[in-house]
Amino acid sequence: MHPKLETLFEEAENRYLKPEELTVLSQYVESLPERLEVYRQIRDREIDIMQTVADRLTAQFPQESKDTLERSIKNALLMLRYCAMAMLLNDEAFVKERLLGWLAQSIQTYKTQPIDSALYKLLNQQLAQSLTAKQINLLKPALVLAQTSLLKLEGASEPKS
């Protein structure tokens, strides 16, 4: 659940919600049907979206080993799932706490920044074709956070010139 909502409920244990607290809650509740729809669409189209991305990535990096490409694709698939859940919860911290923590080690070990950078671009293009602009805007904060954070982690592990 969104941290603001959690705090709101905790603070209101012995009192009624204030008007501004009700506004925050109402905004989340009103956006929930659209968030659910986006989540369902991503879930239902995940294979098609990622297969298209994988095919294009393989064509872009024919010299890379199958294992390296598969690792990056699997990581991107997990990133998409975590971002979809963060979007549903309206909680970007979900990405930081649940995805970036454990994935950082893998990212730093394999140093696949050029592949991942291209993969994220292809994924974003495919999502733009699969979702409406409004739906993309719901997903975008978590997706941008995850992608930029993961690419920064990869860049941090490379030696400086």
Walk me through the domains of the chain, giving residue ranges and CATH numbers. Answer: 35-152 (1.10.490.20)
Residue 50 binned pLDDT confidence (cut-offs 50, 70, 90) = very high
Higher-pLDDT residue of 17 and 128 is 128
* pTM for this predicted structure: 0.86
Instruction: Tell whether the model's pLDDT for residue 106 goes beyond 80.
Output: no
User: How many residues belong to the chain?
Assistant: 161
Long-range Cβ contacts of 89-93 (<8 Å, 24+ apart): 89/1, 89/2, 90/2, 90/28, 90/31, 90/35, 91/1, 91/2, 91/3, 92/141, 92/142, 92/145, 93/3
Section 35-46 average pLDDT:
96
pLDDT, one tens digit per residue, over 82-100 is: 999 999 999 988 888 888 8
Confidence band for 153, pLDDT divided at 50, 70 and 90? low
